Structure 1
Amino acid sequence: MVKIIYEIVPHDGGWAYRLGGVYSEAFPTHDQALEAARIVMQEQQVGDEPVTISYQDESGRWREEYSDGGDRPEVEIIDSFADDDRPQA
């Protein structure tokens, strides 16, 4: 199973959630960034209809795979900034 980890971090004068080095938009407060990450986390858990997926792999070959629509990733939010430890963004 795939695991997705969002981190809550200071970013661009505010706060954001980060996944694999990619930042969300900046939010004015830590709590807003945390809430946005929670919303995204919940959306990751919504299943879909079974489909056949076509994609191009890293070597340029086209592949097809069947997805049953229920294989959702495990999602976690890491928030290392307790209320008293938060830097001023």
Structure 2
Amino acid sequence: MTKIVYEVVEHDGGWAYHVEGVFSETFPSHDAARKAADRAAREQTIPGDPSVISWEDKGGHWHDEAEPGNDRPETDVEG
């Protein structure tokens, strides 16, 4: 199972959460960023409906893939 860690950090004159190289919007306080990270982490674990997704690989080739909607990651919030 995949684990995704949301890390609350100082960013752009305020606070944000950081996930796999991507920052959220900036929040005015650590508490506000932590609450947003907790919410995002919780939502990430909610199963969805089965669907077909399309994605492009680094070589520019497109792939269609069945997504069962129930293989959600484990999440955690730090900071």
Q: TM-score, normalised by structure 1?
A: 0.80
Unaligned runs of 5+ in 2: none
Question: What is the root-mean-square deviation in Å for CA atoms of aligned residues?
Answer: 1.2
Q: Does 1:65 align with 2:65?
A: yes
Q: Distance in 2 between matches of 1:43 and 1:25?
A: 17
Cross-structure match for 1:44: 44
Please identify which structure carries the higher strand content. Answer: 2
What's the offset of the Cα at 1:18? 0.7
How far is 1:2 from its partner?
A: 2.1
- Any gaps of 5 or more consecutive residues in structure 1? 80-89
Q: CA deviation at 1:3?
A: 1.7
Post-superposition shift, 1:20?
2.0
Displacement after TM superposition at 1:47 (Å): 1.1
SS in 2 for 1:49: coil
**Number of matched pairs:** 79
Task: Percent identity, please.
Answer: 48
Match in the other structure for 1:25: 25
**If you compute each CA radius of gyration, which structure gives the higher value, 1 or 2?**
1
Flag as ranges the 4+ runs of structure 1 deviating above 4 A. Answer: none
Cα separation, 2, equivalents of 1:11 and 1:56:
30
Distance 2:54 2:13 in 1: 40
Q: How far apart, CA to CA, are the structure 2 residues paired with 1:19 and 1:38?
A: 12
Q: Deviations over 1:1-37 (max 9, x none)?
A: 2221111111122111111222111111111110000
Any idea what SS the aligned residue of 1:33 has? helix
